[in-house]
Amino acid sequence: MSYKMSATLGAVFLGLSSFAAHAGDVEAGASAFQSQCQNCHNVTDADGEVLAGRPNVRTGPNLYGVIGRQAGTYDGFRYGASLVEAGEAGLVWDEAEMVPYLLDPNTYLREKLGSNRARSQMSFRVRDEATANDIIAFLAQFGAVEEADEEEASGS
Ligand code: HEC
């Protein structure tokens, strides 16, 4: 009985700690976005309002609503063939997919497509998983479902 109970408690704690390890910190993500991503990306809503980053930055695609979006499909952006292919094969961005992509886009696409010739046009790598999680938590705020949050984020 007591063994069973501690095993159950253990499972609960494991669950909690793995949640804590994966849940990114939005504020840390905001500053990491600023220092690592906004040279190439911004977050612009459908009305053209820039919610993060700077206007007229187009090296990388607009990241508004990127969580939940099929990879390689932001209208008007010229993606590399590999990312488009991954999207067509069913890749939709969520946290689990985006972490390894941010850590190493080339390797990620090679594994995803099963081809050593796959290449990413994003020549940037996030150094550690915690930072990737933070940035993803930050990006997850910007999407069609949470209009209210966007208002706040654009106010600063
Ligand atoms: C040096 C410029 C550059 C930097 C810095 C950069 N990116 Fe990118 N990013 C790109 C380019 C270019 C692409 C398109 C890649 C392709 O077509 O293969 C891209 C693609 C992406 C995609 C896929 C989007 C889609 O529509 O499928 C995500 C997600 C992404 N970047 C996130 C980030 C994040 C988060 C950071 C900061 C940690 C970052 N990028 C930093 C240039 C950059």
Average pLDDT over the chain reads: 87
Report CA(40)–ligand 1 centroid distance (Å): 7
Q: Which residues line the pocket of ligand 1, CB cutoff 6 A?
A: 36-37, 39-41, 59-61, 63, 66, 71-72, 74, 79-80, 83, 93, 98, 102, 120-124, 126, 135
Task: Kindly report the pTM of this predicted structure.
Answer: 0.84
Written as one letter, the residue type at 99 is V
DSSP 67: T
Domain regions of the chain by residue span:
24-155
Answer whether residue 137 shows pLDDT above 90.
yes
pLDDT category at 59 given cuts 50, 70, 90 is very high
119 within 8 A of 82, measured Cβ to Cβ: yes
77-99 pLDDT, tens digit per residue, is 999 999 999 999 999 999 999 99
94 within 8 A of 68, measured Cβ to Cβ: yes
Reduce the DSSP state of residue 141 to 3 states and report it: coil
CATH, range 24-155: 1.10.760.10
